[in-house]
Amino acid sequence: MKERDFQDFFAMCRARAIMQALEEDRYDGDLTTLATIDPGQTGCGVIRAKAPGVIAGIAVVEQVFRGIDPGVSVTPVVGDGEKVTAGDTVLEVCGGMASLLVAERTALNFMQRMSGIATRTRAFAEKISHTEAKILDTRKTAPGLRYFDKEAVRIGGGRNHRFGLFDLVLIKDNHIDASGGVAQAIERAQCYLARRGVTVKIEVEVRSLDELRSALGAGLDIVLLDNFSVEGLASAVALAREHSPKVEVEASGNVGLHNVAAIAETGVDFISVGELTHTVTALDLSMTIRFD
């Protein structure tokens, strides 16, 4: 898939998820707003942070409000990736009062989740900023929200790993066992890609130094060291660099803020952290309405 195709696919995922979220909330109408708000009434809403964190989702909020009413104006006060403290204004939205009230919760839901992910990602990235290692996300995302989760990781200072099953060959333990071994699984993948004329990287998960040697001998682009100790990671990185300096090394498994710096200091290129998106604490945000 070409880069342009990827961008079109991501845009489709975002638009479809936003419209689905709006539809599940209002269905055939916001009864409270219809009953209490004059259709011609206008006003503004101010979204503020109620806790410190990193903001993510400005463009998503804008798309949510304009999905309800293209005439709503959105004026950001801070940008994606910027830190805020409690009480800081994030953005202002102005337009029809009914439109603001209908879109409010959906907009906040997206931004709170994305900002929570960005905040956690920033904490990990800052822990390893003295090294060359980069934080990666995983596919452990909320169903239907992968675009938003991964975009939030990127905004927070992490890197996106594969988006789905289609943009990287990632040979994991079950693939290896079912194929009869590391070398056999890699050979099968190489042959398949060659037959299809597909150019993507091959990454292989290894569980021991013996599997690492087999993987390096068979040829690959990225090696994933799963659940290695810090000492084991250092040995594996040295072996990989000696055998093939161009092979990138990723560490995963049991990674937390308490040990991510030590893992980064072993010389790995990437550290994948599942908790960024599978255990999310939303950043507390609220919207206050100002009536015209």
* DSSP E strands, 104-193: 134-136, 169-171
Considering the domain architecture, whether residues 159 and 98 belong to the same structural domain is answered as no
pTM above 0.85, yes or no: yes
How many Å apart are CA 198 and CA 40, to the nearest integer? Answer: 55
| Catalytic residue (one of 48, 140, 154, 201) | 140
Considering the domain architecture, whether residues 106 and 222 belong to the same structural domain is answered as no
What mean pLDDT is predicted for residues 62-73? Answer: 97
Q: Is residue 3 annotated as a catalytic residue, yes or no? A: no
Considering the domain architecture, whether residues 111 and 133 belong to the same structural domain is answered as no
Q: Is residue 140 annotated as a catalytic residue, yes or no? A: yes
How many Å apart are CA 187 and CA 136, to the nearest integer? Answer: 26
CATH code for the domain in which residue 16 is found = 3.90.1170.20
Q: Is residue 205 annotated as a catalytic residue, yes or no? A: yes
The answer on pLDDT for 160 being more than 60 is yes
The answer on pLDDT for 90 being more than 60 is yes
Considering the domain architecture, whether residues 111 and 25 belong to the same structural domain is answered as yes
Considering the domain architecture, whether residues 106 and 130 belong to the same structural domain is answered as no
Share of the chain above pLDDT 90, in %: 93
pLDDT score, position 7: 83
Considering the domain architecture, whether residues 112 and 152 belong to the same structural domain is answered as no
What mean pLDDT is predicted for residues 217-231? Answer: 96
Q: Is residue 50 annotated as a catalytic residue, yes or no? A: no
Considering the domain architecture, whether residues 130 and 274 belong to the same structural domain is answered as yes
The answer on pLDDT for 2 being more than 90 is no
Considering the domain architecture, whether residues 160 and 217 belong to the same structural domain is answered as yes
Considering the domain architecture, whether residues 96 and 20 belong to the same structural domain is answered as yes
Q: What does the pLDDT look like over 119-141, one tens digit per residue?
A: 999 999 999 999 999 999 999 99
| Catalytic residue (one of 48, 134, 139, 172) | 172
Q: Is residue 134 annotated as a catalytic residue, yes or no? A: no
| Catalytic residue (one of 50, 105, 154, 188) | 105
| Catalytic residue (one of 80, 205, 250, 269) | 205
Considering the domain architecture, whether residues 92 and 191 belong to the same structural domain is answered as no
105 contacts: CB under 8 Å, gap ≥ 6: 25
Considering the domain architecture, whether residues 170 and 231 belong to the same structural domain is answered as yes
212 pLDDT band (50/70/90 cuts)? very high
Query: Which of 142, 78, 85 has the alpha carbon at shortest distance from 110?
Result: 142
pLDDT score, position 4: 57
Q: Do the bridges between strand 89-96 and strand 73-76 make them parallel or antiparallel, or are there none, so unpaired?
A: antiparallel
290 pLDDT band (50/70/90 cuts)? confident
Beta carbons of 117 and 138 less than 8 angstroms apart:
no
CATH code for the domain in which residue 203 is found = 3.20.20.70
232 contacts: CB under 8 Å, gap ≥ 6: 209, 225
Considering the domain architecture, whether residues 172 and 100 belong to the same structural domain is answered as no
pLDDT score, position 292: 65
Q: Structurally, how many domains does the chain consist of?
A: 2
- Which residue has tokens 């799963």? 226
The answer on pLDDT for 100 being more than 90 is yes
For the record, the structure tokens of 278 come out as 């599978």
Range of the domain at 147: 126-278
